[in-house]
Structure 1
C-alpha cells in the first residue's frame, strides 16, 4: 500500500475514535528548547557535527533546524522531508484531524497517541515519528505545515538549490517557464540550482513577479499601473 493511502487510512481510523478516547493528560516538565536539543542530539552518534545551511529564526525555525540536524546526522534528509510532506498533505485533506491538531484543549496524551498510531501504520522513520511526537506533546502540531516548509528550505539549501517564486495571473506555459528558469540559472551561475515555484494571483492583473533570494522583480501590470498613476499625479514643472 502506498504511503498516502496508509496515511489516509490511519488518520481516518484515528479520527473515528477521537470522541470515545478519554485519556488523561500530563505535561512533561522538560522545556521545549531542551526537548529540541535532546531530539537533535539523540538520533545519531555524538561525534557528528552538523550545522544548518541557513539560519532560521522563530519557533518554526527552531523546530525545523532541530529536525534538520537529526535527519542529517542519520543521513535521512530526503526520507524525512518526504515523510513530513506526506503527513502535511494527508492531514490537510482530513478536516476532522486538521481541527484536532489545532485544538489546544485536546490533552497532550491523546495527541501523542494519535501520532504514534499514525506513524506506525504509515511506517514513518523513527526521526519523523519522534519529531511529530515532540510537536504533539508541545501543542505545536498546528504549525506542522509551516515547519515542513522551513525544513524544505533547509534541505534545498543543503542540495545547493535556490527557490524562485514566480507569481502570474495564469500558469506559465512550459516554454516560458523553461526560459525563465534558464535566465535565473544564468544569474546564479555554477554550483547552484534553481527550484522554480509558481503562484497564481489574479490581483496582479498581468505580467509577473519574481522573488529570487533577497530580490523581488515586480513586472506586474498592477505595479506598472500604480507607477503610472503616481507619475501622472506629480506636478508638471514647465520651467524645467
Structure 2
C-alpha cells in the first residue's frame, strides 16, 4: 500500500504504514487518528515539546520519560502511546510529523477521502469550513478532510492545495501580480 502513495514513502512511510495496518487490524483507526491529532496540536502549542521531539541532543531515555509524562497528561494510551514509545526507542521521534502525515494519507485513502491543505489569513468559521468542504466535495466527488493553516501574511482570500492541484486566491498573490504587470507596463 505504501508504494502506491508517494506521500507515504521512506522511513516515515514505513512507520506510518505499520501504524495504520495495526490500527486497522485492531479496528481502532479513528481512535488512533484522534490521538495523533491531539499529539499534533500539543506539538504546535508547546515549543518545549517540539524541541524535545526534534532535537538529537536528548538521549532516548530522557525523551522516553518526558514523552511518557506528556502522553499520560494528554490521556493518549493504547496503540498510539505504544507507537510513539517505539519511535522514541528507535531514535525516530524527530520524524513524528512526517509519520503522522503519512498515517493521515493512508486513513484518507482507506476511507475514500481526499485531503486538502488550506491556508487562510484568519481562522474560518464552522459555516465557512462546511461551505469549503462542500465545494471541494463537488469537485472531487469524495469527502474532503481539511488541514487548515492560518498565515496572516496572505492578507486575505485562501490557498487550497488538493493533490497536485493548487488554487491561490490570496490577496498577496493578486497584489504581487498587479505589481509585476505594472513593472512590465512602466
What TM-score, normalized to structure 1?
0.61
What TM-score, normalized to structure 2?
0.76
Q: Which moved more, 1:217-226 or 1:52-61?
A: 52-61
What is residue 140 of structure 1 aligned with on the other side? Answer: 92
TM-fit CA distance, 1:97: 5.2
What SS does the aligned partner of 2:175 have?
helix
Check conservation: 1:210, 1:218, Cα contact below 8 A: yes
Gaps of 5+ in 2: none
What SS does the aligned partner of 2:27 have?
coil
What is residue 231 of structure 1 aligned with on the other side? Answer: 181
Of residues 61, 75, 82, the one that matches 2:13 is 61
Change (3 A) 1:90 1:203: closer
TM-fit CA distance, 1:83: 2.6
**Structure 1 residues 1-240: aligned runs within 5 Å:** 51-52=1-2, 54-55=5-6, 56-90=8-42, 98-112=50-64, 122=75, 124-125=77-78, 127-189=79-141, 192-234=142-184
Change (3 A) 1:115 1:165: closer
The one-character-per-residue Cα deviations of 1:186-205 (angstroms, maximum 9, x if unpaired) are 1112xx20223433222222
Q: Which has the higher helix share?
A: 2
RMSD: 3.2
Gaps of 5+ in 1: 1-50
Q: Which moved more, 1:78-87 or 1:149-158?
A: 78-87
What SS does the aligned partner of 1:164 have?
strand
What SS does the aligned partner of 1:179 have?
helix
TM-fit CA distance, 1:173: 4.3
Change (3 A) 1:179 1:105: closer
Change (3 A) 1:123 1:171: closer
Question: Aligned equivalents of 2:43 and 2:176: distance in 1?
Answer: 41
Check conservation: 1:88, 1:144, Cα contact below 8 A: no
